[in-house]
Chain A
Amino acid sequence: MAAIRITPGRTIVWLLLLLGGIAMLTPLLFMFSTSLKDSADVYDLRLIPAAPTLDNYAKVLSDGRFLRWLANSFGIATLVTISNVFFDSLVGYTLAKYRFRGRYVVFLAILSTLMIPTEMLVIPWYVMARNFGWLDTYWGIMFPGMMTAFGTFLMKQFFETIPDDFLEAARVDGLNEFAIFWRVAMPLVTPALSALAIFTFLGNWTAFIWPLIVTTSKELYTLPVGLSSFAVEQAIQWELIMTGAALATLPTLAVFLVLQRYIVRGVVLAGLKG
Chain B
Amino acid sequence: MSYPTQFRYTKEHEWIDAKGGIATIGITDYAQHELGDVVFVELPAVGSSLITGKTFSSVESVKAVSEIYAPASGQVTEANSTLQNTPESINSDPHGAGWLVKVKLANPAELNSLMDAAAYEAYIEEKKKEASA
Q: Verify that A and B bind, or say they do not.
A: no
Give the A-binding residues of B (Cβ under 8 A): none
Which residues of A does B touch, CB under 8 Å? Answer: none
